[in-house]
Amino acid sequence: MLINWFFMFIALIAGMFMPTQAAVNNKLDSYIHSPVLSALISFVVGGVALLVYILVAGIPLNSITAAKNAPWISWTGGLYGAFFVTAVVVLVPRLGVALTFSIIIAGQMLATLPIDHYGFLGTAVREISAARILGVIFVIVGVVLIRKF
């Protein structure tokens, strides 16, 4: 049970980093005036950080060749990330951080229900329930409140 709390804490921190990353990338964009270049710099810095971590932690690189056997859809994650980071750089100055991320969270919740329900791409099946739908409705109500006030 303690491990679940630890992982939930890590998820909370990761969630806190998303709007922070948006603000940082938006600051970069104010200097270079290109959301796409801002996103590219973000990915390059992140890629270098991951490579340094891999080398310092001694993670073997030999298993990376197995990626060639992965289905094509497994290779699309970077596309989603690139779209997300670029979109956030464009949206934050227009909508603000709170509204941008409340809408993003609403979108995430709408996507998670069918992904969990059908076990998309091998994820664990967690059936849609009235309580889960109510949770998504509450998130959408939160978006409306943030937008209105």
pLDDT of residue 68: 92
- Which residue ranges in the chain fall short of pLDDT 70? 1
Structure confidence at residue 148 (pLDDT): 86
Give how far Cα 9 sits from Cα of 5, 14, 65, Å: 6, 9, 32
pLDDT of res. 128: 94
* Backbone CA torsion sign across 22, 28, 33, 35: negative
Res 1: pLDDT: 67
Residue 14 confidence (pLDDT): 93
Model confidence, pTM: 0.85
N residues, the chain: 149
Q: Is the distance from CB of 146 to CB of 104 less than 8 angstroms? A: no
| pLDDT score recorded for residue 3 | 76
| Domain residue spans of the chain | 20-63+79-95, 96-149
